[in-house]
């Protein structure tokens, strides 16, 4: 007899209310009925054909409910499916389309110089226009980089190395923060790995956006299309036995866990669609002696570290923090202040901006209290929010490492 | 001395149907029920409103009655009936030779059947076994037994009928072979009183043997226990039957937010013997897996059993072999005028049974008014404005659920003043608000928390009372409801009943749930522990 | 070393081991039982249904031989409780009790529950000493009903003669899903604290009297600053504020969980959240590693020793299957259990239940043993509800066993 009884959804929920206790949105937005009500409880009524509750748009998909659930209920997945159903029935907002399709948008705008694009993001009348379609005027939107990460990497001469890794850059690094990506490439080169970004450093099929922003905004089919493309590319590289790294915990979570949850039919039997967290990989490099760390400098610098919720959800500990702690001369201070509030594009929305700022308040306060001048976090939009709310320079942990490697 | 013309004994579907019929014909009547309404067989079945297809091959007459009554109930009981379809599924283990005669019998009974491909059936119901061979659609539907009884009771009361719950008949008096009245005990205050009447209708279901004995009469009835499982979610949106000669564990019925698997058949020791055994559960699951292979993994909310009041004349079979037809016994033939018993039958035909019984009573009393129960709905449909108003107070889907539950009383809770709308959700699993609990608690037939449960589904969802029962007792303490005066006893009784339904199925998520429930009420709230300073 | 589970037992085990200089990782799946608990530490309230008098540690000898307390010995239990009290004191968590005998804390049901440690805001003595008791009712807060509490309190010998009043505050918010946790978080803010003060002032004015007053409240006195809020409000109101233990989400439990997580981080424990340990790799008498089902596949975590504090049926440490079978979730050991399902339970839900005592059997060091008494991997230790031999619901011993066995495992590993 099977002892590990596989209890189907939504039967695993026993209404213990733990998810309600940890949900940052429910804490800061009384109109959100909370993860249990919107997820497994609601699911029983969905099966009765009772339609969706509009309040699901309040869910930020931060996944704290999934992390806290003692019964492995895929709480956030229920709510994401609900969003998709609503999106199918009602014509979605232009704003949501834009935020869900940052990659497509960036591609369309690629011939417009970044200066103009960024001017549009700061220029007051332009912000009024964005405000009119529902993007918060106060939110600090990330700046378009003059040249995308992939374009810069294509021109970068990497040393000739025998070992190689594949890198999934993710939209944020590619469009807004190529420097983080280049830092990662430099450190990996230093550890003896050439970095392959499919379609950039070679002419194989390129990765596309992981699809998480699409799911979070209700564009289920678009996310599914992207998932299919990425899975194909991933399978080809995995067949070559090549580690596939990413620096973005949300991409890692989407591809490594949520693809199977959302689109089980796309996963071939036996296929593992895993991305390796770059910090986790680098710790391995240090342990294997592939990456030598410099001797401790005279002056010890404190770095304030915030763990993105999606990093915590990966179930692999906090490799970003562990990596910082490996670096001689770095004193890593762990924020432990919960969610930053941004949740991808959530905090940019006009109606969600105040919620996001309330959610992030404890983190911002911790940043202000900290003596550190430099902060670190793996997630791109977390970094945007930390700079916006906490007012301090914030980088990817690997960028900190690169500075120390020189 | 209190008096009335007719006394109906038994607050199940049949009794309450008779009360409604009598009241609509203008005959003064009182219904006596030893427990709460619908606490017997009417709430302890699978919730299937038969199309008759299940009986077509074995009993054409019963099948014809079913399809007629099925059509009537869909019309008059829209709040109580869920109009899904039934599927008859030929599994690997069923005899294909059964199909042709069955189809012919259905046609004779006027039951429309339509074959659909296995692919289509599995597209509609993905959880169905992949190796099924043939599937037919039939006009089965779902019916909520609790709600049907309640809405009948309310309708009956509007026509002047009276319902007394927790009133047990302890004696039946007659003079010169003619009924004169009975002795009734109010089980809540243990006071006995006489009640004079002209005619007594014994509709006590599995207890009708006991009632007949009080009158010195005999009826041939055997309580036959049927055990059922209630699952936490709806894994089928159709009623799914196995296409074979009726047997155990061959019907799945979606029922509101849950699914029910039934049933078994075993002679019960007595009418109150409704304790299921773990063996029955394992048997049901191993039979049920032929239709739904994952049935072992679905979370079971509870297991429960009801007793069919089967008519078993001395030379006939009990159990599955016994007739599902109903029987009316006019005891005047046996020397007691003014006394009749009705038993057997199915919930689907409760209205017809009530009509026939009432016809008999009216003939005896010389009342010529014809039966109107088939034409007048039990409750009116809620106005659109009322639903919209409710939608603002309740979660989006809650309004419809509450409207169906409360029937004609629905506007009362919706029109409560805004500042005390009572919209706090006491039961999040079944969307029961404080206002709804307070409304039902104020009903004269409500005396225990489980009466509220029957009517609102409080405590019948995922949490099985863990979250809501404490809240409900709290609310009732505030509104001064008598039975909540001792909150600890009220709570314990309620939780104990839930526990009874989980004991035989203590594995998987059920074990998880029970540990949580016990931790809350035992460890956190110390509902059970001796108190060093209690009086 | 690796600890699995972030309930009371797991956290105490991790902190104990890390305080001994071990390098400790903690794998957590879910937020643990503390998130639903009331934050009090019950050690032993009843033995065979009889109230435990005096120090509960002294009653351990009355328990059966296979009880976890008996396995590790009363001395260890006492030591662990002292360790816990010290830990709370060092981390600024306001904890009362731990001497004399069990204290009885009020609950949202109006009953009292015996516990050993409790937050000072839950002391029944304060109620007993008051001349009048004001029970507050907050509309929309559906888990706490003053009328029910009053009905039950009035049956207490030392309370029945008191003046008891029910006073309604304004709702802090009108919403159909409001929990004491939401209120507590509001009270944590300055505006919330001011609001509560003004509400309570009005409540006390309405039933004015110069006598000593106790105010009974749902657990709403903040989550992060509860001790200071209570002190300030008590002084401003000239009344004692008393919180009732209420259903989940567990305000008290979350307060203590927060403290313990900080304490664990302070001694260098690293936490892997959302890590579902699914399998153990065992070579001979030693466990080599545990395998987590993490994002992107299996993740093997190696360690020298392992403490398993995965909880009981509720949190997935024990798994029961149809037909009266039960096993431990990670190692998959089948555990001895009654063959007939009928024998798993007693008719009364809250009686001592045989199924509640199912679990892993261990030696005195908390290493698992076979039913025949043979040791299984000797670098594996079990702690908390995964252990066999006690029904925490009936005994009111859940937190005590978790602390004592977590501590013992942390000391032994």
Q: What is the pLDDT of residues C222-281, one digit of tens each?
A: 999 999 999 999 999 999 999 999 999 989 999 999 999 999 999 999 999 999 999 999
Predicted TM-score (pTM) of the model is: 0.94
Condensed to tens digits (0 to 9), the pLDDT of residues C82-133 reads 999 999 999 999 899 999 999 999 999 999 999 999 998 898 888 989 989 9
Condensed to tens digits (0 to 9), the pLDDT of residues A209-246 reads 999 999 999 999 999 999 999 999 999 999 998 999 99
Average pLDDT, chain C: 93
Condensed to tens digits (0 to 9), the pLDDT of residues A329-380 reads 999 999 999 999 999 999 999 999 999 999 999 999 999 999 999 999 999 9
The burial of B246, by beta-carbon neighbours within 10 Å (0-12 exposed, 13-18 middle, 19 or more buried), is given as middle
B517 contact residues in C (CB cutoff 8 A): 349
Please list, in sequence order, all residues whose beta carbon lies within 8 angstroms of the beta carbon of residue B344, skipping any fewer than 6 positions away: B221, B309, B310, B311, B323, B324, B325, B326, B327
C36 contact residues in A (CB cutoff 8 A): 16-18
Q: Is the Cβ pair B396, A47 closer than 8 Å?
A: no
Residue B435: what pLDDT?
93
Cβ-nearest to B531 among C111, C140, C177: C111
pLDDT of A3 over the 80 cut: no
- As a whole number, mean pLDDT of residues C379-396 equals 97
Residue B289: what pLDDT?
96
pLDDT of C207 over the 70 cut: no
CB atoms within 10 A of CB B410: 25
What gap in Å lies between CA A211 and CA A230, rounded to an integer?
A: 10
Q: Is the Cβ pair B462, A13 closer than 8 Å?
A: yes
CA-nearest residue to C319 within chain B is: B508
The secondary structure element, H or E, covering residue C311 is none
CA-nearest residue to C399 within chain B is: B523
Q: Are strands C240-243 and C270-272 parallel, antiparallel or unpaired?
A: unpaired
Cβ-nearest to A7 among B297, B463, B466: B297
Q: Is the Cβ pair A6, B297 closer than 8 Å?
A: yes
| Beta-carbon contacts below 8 Å between B and C | 198
Residue ranges in B270-397 assigned as alpha helix (H)? 278-288, 350-365, 384-393
Condensed to tens digits (0 to 9), the pLDDT of residues A56-96 reads 999 999 999 999 999 889 999 999 999 999 998 888 888 99
Residue B134: what pLDDT?
97
Tell me which residue of B469, B385, B474, B455 sits closest to B427, measured CA to CA.
B469
Just give the CATH number of C2-96+254-412.
3.50.50.60
Indicate the class that CATH gives domain A286-405.
alpha beta
What gap in Å lies between CA C23 and CA C35, rounded to an integer?
A: 26
Cβ-nearest to B257 among A6, A36, A45: A45
Residue A2: what pLDDT?
38
Residue A285: what pLDDT?
97
Q: Is the Cβ pair B491, C109 closer than 8 Å?
A: yes
Minimum distance, in Å, between the CA of residue B257 and any CA atom of chain A: 6
Q: Which fold has domain C108-245?
A: Rossmann fold (3.40.50)
The burial of C128, by beta-carbon neighbours within 10 Å (0-12 exposed, 13-18 middle, 19 or more buried), is given as middle
- Chain B neighbours among C 41-60 (CB < 8 Å)? 42, 45-46, 49-51
Report phi then psi at B497, rounded to 5.
-65, -40
Please list, in sequence order, all residues whose beta carbon lies within 8 angstroms of the beta carbon of residue C3, skipping any fewer than 6 positions away: C10, C13, C14, C17, C24, C25, C26, C27, C269, C306, C307, C309
- The ipTM, to two decimals, is 0.96
Condensed to tens digits (0 to 9), the pLDDT of residues B110-146 reads 999 999 999 999 999 999 999 999 999 999 999 999 9
Condensed to tens digits (0 to 9), the pLDDT of residues A149-166 reads 999 999 999 999 999 999
Q: Is the Cβ pair C176, B532 closer than 8 Å?
A: no
Minimum distance, in Å, between the CA of residue C284 and any CA atom of chain B: 31
Cβ-nearest to B396 among A11, A47, A53: A53
Q: Which is more confidently placed, C211 or B285? A: B285
Residue A5: what pLDDT?
47
How many CA atoms, within 13 angstroms, populate the side-chain half-sphere of residue B420?
5
Condensed to tens digits (0 to 9), the pLDDT of residues A279-321 reads 999 999 999 999 999 888 878 899 999 999 999 999 999 999 9
Token pair 């005899």 in the structure block, residue? B95
pLDDT of A7 over the 80 cut: no
Please list, in sequence order, all residues whose beta carbon lies within 8 angstroms of the beta carbon of residue C328, skipping any fewer than 6 positions away: C308, C317, C318, C319, C335, C359, C360, C368, C386
Q: Identify whether B263 is preceded by a cis peptide bond (ω within 30 of 0).
A: yes
Q: Is the Cβ pair C341, B425 closer than 8 Å?
A: no
B533 contact residues in C (CB cutoff 8 A): 104, 112, 156-159
Condensed to tens digits (0 to 9), the pLDDT of residues C181-193 reads 999 999 999 999 9
Cβ-nearest to B477 among C147, C177, C393: C147
Q: Confirm or reject contact between C176 and chain B (CB < 8 A).
A: yes
C276 contact residues in A (CB cutoff 8 A): 72, 315
Q: Is C79 helix (H, G, I), strand (E, B) or coil?
A: helix
Condensed to tens digits (0 to 9), the pLDDT of residues C254-264 reads 999 999 999 99
Q: Confirm or reject contact between A311 and chain C (CB < 8 A).
A: no
Residue A251: what pLDDT?
96
| Beta-carbon contacts below 8 Å between A and B | 80
Which one of A70, A275, A280 makes the best mutation probe of the C interface by having the most chain C beta carbons within 10 Å? A70
- Sheet hosting strand B167-175, strand order edge to edge: B2-3, B191-196, B178-186, B167-175
B504 contact residues in C (CB cutoff 8 A): 341-342
Cα B37–chain centre separation: 9
Condensed to tens digits (0 to 9), the pLDDT of residues C342-367 reads 899 999 999 999 999 999 999 999 99
- Chain B neighbours among C 184-243 (CB < 8 Å)? none
Minimum distance, in Å, between the CA of residue C21 and any CA atom of chain B: 35
Q: Is the Cβ pair C398, B523 closer than 8 Å?
A: yes
C274 contact residues in A (CB cutoff 8 A): 66-67, 312-315
pLDDT of A259 over the 90 cut: yes
In chain C, what percentage of residues exceed pLDDT 90? 80
What's the pLDDT band for A276 if we cut at 50, 70, 90?
Answer: very high
Q: Confirm or reject contact between C374 and chain B (CB < 8 A).
A: no
Total number of residues shown for chain B: 535
Q: Is the Cβ pair A7, B508 closer than 8 Å?
A: yes
Chains that touch B (3 or more CB pairs under 8 A): A, C
The per-residue b/e assignment along A227-254, b for 16 or more CB within 10 angstroms, e otherwise, is bebbbebbeebbeeeebbbbbbbbbbbb
Q: Is the Cβ pair C148, B492 closer than 8 Å?
A: no
Cβ-nearest to B525 among C36, C109, C321: C109
- Chain A neighbours among C 370-399 (CB < 8 Å)? none
What does the DSSP assignment read for B192-249? EEEEE-SEEEE--GGGHHHHHHHTT----EEEEEEEEEEESS-S-SSEEEESSS--TT
Which stretches of chain B score pLDDT less than 70?
Answer: 317-319, 535
A238 contact residues in C (CB cutoff 8 A): none
Average pLDDT, chain A: 91
Q: Is the Cβ pair C394, B519 closer than 8 Å?
A: no
pLDDT of A1 over the 50 cut: no
Cβ-nearest to A41 among B396, B429, B512: B429
Which one of C218, C318, C349 makes the best mutation probe of the B interface by having the most chain B beta carbons within 10 Å? C349
Q: Which is more confidently placed, A185 or C32? A: A185
Residue C208: what pLDDT?
61
Residue A252: what pLDDT?
96
What's the pLDDT band for A6 if we cut at 50, 70, 90?
Answer: low
Indicate the class that CATH gives domain A10-89.
mainly alpha
CA-nearest residue to A25 within chain C is: C182
What's the pLDDT band for A182 if we cut at 50, 70, 90?
Answer: very high
Q: Which is more confidently placed, B319 or C405? A: C405
In chain C, CATH 3.40.50 covers: 108-245
Q: Is the Cβ pair C113, B475 closer than 8 Å?
A: no
In chain C, CATH 3.50.50.60 covers: 2-96+254-412
B522 contact residues in C (CB cutoff 8 A): 349-350, 393-394, 396
Q: Is the Cβ pair C297, A272 closer than 8 Å?
A: yes
B466 contact residues in A (CB cutoff 8 A): 15
B462 contact residues in A (CB cutoff 8 A): 10, 13-15, 40-41, 44
Q: Is the Cβ pair C176, B504 closer than 8 Å?
A: no
Locate the domains of chain A by residue range: 10-89, 286-405
Chains that touch C (3 or more CB pairs under 8 A): A, B
Please list, in sequence order, all residues whose beta carbon lies within 8 angstroms of the beta carbon of residue C307, skipping any fewer than 6 positions away: C1, C2, C3, C4, C10, C13, C14, C17, C380, C381, C382, C383, C406, C409, C410, C413
Cβ-nearest to A72 among C249, C273, C276: C276
């Amino acid at each position: 007899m099977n002892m590990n009884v596989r209890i189907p959804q939504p039967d695993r929920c026993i209404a213990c209310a733990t998810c309600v206790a940890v949900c940052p949105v429910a804490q800061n937005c009384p109109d959100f009925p909370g993860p249990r009500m919107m997820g497994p409880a609601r699911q029983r009524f969905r099966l009765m054909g009772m339609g969706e509750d509009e309040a699901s748009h309040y869910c930020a998909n931060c996944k704290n409910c999934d992390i806290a659930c003692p019964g492995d209920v895929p709480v956030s997945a229920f709510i994401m499916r609900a969003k998709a159903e609503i999106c199918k029935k009602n014509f979605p907002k232009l704003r949501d389309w834009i935020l869900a399709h940052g990659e497509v948008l960036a591609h369309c705008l690629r011939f417009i110089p970044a200066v103009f694009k960024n001017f549009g993001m700061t220029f007051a009348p332009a912000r009024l226009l964005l405000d009119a379609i529902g993007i918060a005027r106060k939110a600090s939107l990330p700046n378009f980089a003059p040249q995308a990460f992939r374009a810069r990497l294509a021109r970068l001469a990497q040393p000739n190395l025998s070992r190689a890794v594949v890198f999934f850059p993710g939209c944020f690094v590619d469009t807004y923060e190529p420097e983080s990506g280049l830092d990662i490439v430099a450190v990996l080169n230093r550890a003896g790995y050439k970095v392959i970004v499919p379609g950039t450093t070679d002419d194989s099929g390129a990765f596309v956006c992981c699809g998480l922003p699409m799911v979070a905004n209700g564009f289920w089919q678009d996310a599914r299309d992207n998932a299919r493309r990425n899975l194909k590319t991933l399978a080809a590289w995995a067949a070559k036995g090549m580690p596939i790294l990413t620096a973005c915990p949300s991409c890692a979570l989407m591809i490594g866990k949520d693809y199977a949850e959302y689109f089980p039919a796309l996963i071939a039997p036996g296929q593992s669609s895993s991305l390796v967290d770059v910090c986790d990989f680098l710790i391995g490099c240090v342990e294997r002696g592939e990456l030598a760390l410099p001797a401790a400098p005279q002056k010890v610098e404190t770095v304030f570290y915030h763990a993105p919720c999606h990093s915590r959800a990966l179930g692999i500990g906090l490799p970003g923090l562990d990596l910082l702690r490996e670096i001689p001369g770095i004193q890593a201070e762990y924020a432990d202040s919960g969610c930053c509030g941004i949740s991808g594009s959530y905090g940019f929305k006009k109606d969600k901006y105040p919620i996001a700022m309330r959610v992030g308040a404890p983190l911002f306060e911790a940043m202000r209290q900290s003596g550190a001048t430099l902060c670190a976090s793996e997630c791109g939009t977390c970094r945007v929010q930390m700079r916006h709310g906490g007012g301090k320079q914030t980088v990817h942990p690997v960028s900190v490492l690169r500075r120390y490697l020189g | 001395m209190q008096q009335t013309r007719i006394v109906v004994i038994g607050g199940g579907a049949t009794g309450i149907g008779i009360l409604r019929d009598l009241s609509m014909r203008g005959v003064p009547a009182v219904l006596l029920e030893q427990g709460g309404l619908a606490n017997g067989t009417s709430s302890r079945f699978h919730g299937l409103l038969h199309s008759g297809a299940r009986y077509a091959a074995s009993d054409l007459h019963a099948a014809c009655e079913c399809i007629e009554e099925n059509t009537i109930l869909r019309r008059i009981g829209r709040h109580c009936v869920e109009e899904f379809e039934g599927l008859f599924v030929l599994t690997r283990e069923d005899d294909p030779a059964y199909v042709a005669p069955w189809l012919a019998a259905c046609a004779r009974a006027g039951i429309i059947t339509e074959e659909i491909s296995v692919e289509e059936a599995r597209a509609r119901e993905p959880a169905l076994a992949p190796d099924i061979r043939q599937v037919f659609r039939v006009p089965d539907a779902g019916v909520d037994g609790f709600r049907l009884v309640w809405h009948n009771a309310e309708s009956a009361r509007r026509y002047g009928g009276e319902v007394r719950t927790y009133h047990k008949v302890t004696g039946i008096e007659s003079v010169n072979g003619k009924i004169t009245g009975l002795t009734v005990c109010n089980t809540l205050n243990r006071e006995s009183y006489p009640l004079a009447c002209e005619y007594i209708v014994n509709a006590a279901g599995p207890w009708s043997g006991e009632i007949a004995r009080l009158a010195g009469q005999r009826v041939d009835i055997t309580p036959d226990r049927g055990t059922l499982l209630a699952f936490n979610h709806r894994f089928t949106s159709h009623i799914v039957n196995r296409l074979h000669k009726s047997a155990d564990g061959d019907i799945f019925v979606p029922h509101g937010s849950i699914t029910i698997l039934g049933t078994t058949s075993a002679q019960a020791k007595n009418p109150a013997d409704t304790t299921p055994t773990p063996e029955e559960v394992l048997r049901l699951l191993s039979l049920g897996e032929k239709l739904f292979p994952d049935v072992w993994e679905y979370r079971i909310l509870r297991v429960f059993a009801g007793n069919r009041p089967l008519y078993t004349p001395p030379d006939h079979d009990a159990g599955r072999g016994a007739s599902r037809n109903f029987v009316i016994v006019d005891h005047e033939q046996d020397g007691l005028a003014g006394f009749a018993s009705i038993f057997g039958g199915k919930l689907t035909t409760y209205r017809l049974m009530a009509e026939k019984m009432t016809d008999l009573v009216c003939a005896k009393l010389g009342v010529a008014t014809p039966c109107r129960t088939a034409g007048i709905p039990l409750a009116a449909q809620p106005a659109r404005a009322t639903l919209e108003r409710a939608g603002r107070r309740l979660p989006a889907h809650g309004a419809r659920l509450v409207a169906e539950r409360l029937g004609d009383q629905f506007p009362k809770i919706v029109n409560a003043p805004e500042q005390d709308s009572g919209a706090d959700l006491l039961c999040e699993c079944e969307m029961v608000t404080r206002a709804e609990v307070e409304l039902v608690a104020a009903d004269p037939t409500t005396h225990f928390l489980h009466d509220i449960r029957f009517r609102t589904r409080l405590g019948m969802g995922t949490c099985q009372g863990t979250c809501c029962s404490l809240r409900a007792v709290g609310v009732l303490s505030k509104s001064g409801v008598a039975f909540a005066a001792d909150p600890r006893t009220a709570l314990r009784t309620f939780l104990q009943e839930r526990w009874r339904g989980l004991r035989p199925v203590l594995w998987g998520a059920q074990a998880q749930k029970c540990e949580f429930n016990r931790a809350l009420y035992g460890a956190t709230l110390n509902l059970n522990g001796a108190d060093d300073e209690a009086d | 070393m690796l600890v699995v589970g972030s309930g009371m037992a797991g956290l105490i085990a991790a902190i104990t081991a890390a305080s001994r200089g071990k390098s400790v990782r903690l794998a957590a799946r879910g937020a643990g039982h503390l998130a639903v608990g009331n934050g009090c530490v019950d050690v032993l309230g009843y033995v065979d249904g009889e109230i435990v008098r005096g120090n509960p540690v002294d009653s351990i000898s009355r328990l059966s031989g296979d009880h976890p307390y008996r396995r590790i010995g009363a001395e260890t239990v006492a030591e662990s409780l002292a360790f816990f009290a010290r830990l709370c004191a060092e981390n600024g968590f306001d904890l009362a009790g731990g001497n004399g005998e069990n204290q009885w804390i009020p609950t949202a049901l109006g009953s009292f529950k015996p516990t050993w440690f409790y937050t000072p805001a839950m002391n029944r003595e304060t109620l007993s000493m008051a001349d009048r008791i004001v029970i507050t009712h907050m509309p929309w807060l559906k888990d706490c009903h003053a009328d029910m509490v009053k009905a039950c309190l009035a049956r207490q010998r030392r309370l029945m003669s008191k003046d008891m009043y029910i006073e309604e505050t304004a709702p802090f918010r009108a919403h159909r899903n409001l929990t004491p946790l939401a209120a507590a978080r509001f009270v944590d803010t300055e505006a919330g604290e001011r609001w509560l003060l003004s509400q309570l002032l009005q409540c006390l004015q309405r039933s004015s009297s110069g006598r000593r007053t106790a105010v009974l409240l749902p657990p709403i006195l903040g989550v992060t600053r509860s001790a200071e809020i209570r002190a300030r409000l008590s002084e401003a109101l000239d009344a004692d504020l008393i919180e009732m233990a209420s259903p989940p989400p567990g305000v008290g439990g979350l307060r203590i969980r927060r403290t313990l997580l900080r304490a664990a981080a302070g001694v260098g424990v690293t936490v892997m959240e959302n890590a579902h340990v699914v399998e153990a790799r065992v070579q001979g008498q030693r466990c080599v590693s545990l395998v987590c089902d993490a994002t992107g596949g299996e993740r093997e975590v190696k360690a020298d020793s392992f403490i398993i504090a995965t909880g009981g049926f509720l949190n997935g440490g024990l798994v029961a299957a149809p037909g009266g079978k039960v096993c431990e979730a990670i190692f998959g050991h089948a555990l001895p259990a009654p063959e007939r399902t009928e024998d798993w339970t007693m008719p009364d839900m809250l009686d001592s239940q045989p199924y509640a005592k199912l679990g892993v059997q261990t030696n005195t060091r908390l290493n698992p043993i076979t039913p025949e008494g043979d040791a299984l991997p000797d670098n594996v230790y079990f702690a908390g509800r995964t252990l066999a031999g006690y029904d925490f619901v009936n005994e009111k011993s859940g937190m005590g066993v978790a602390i004592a066995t977590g501590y013992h495992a942390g000391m032994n590993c």
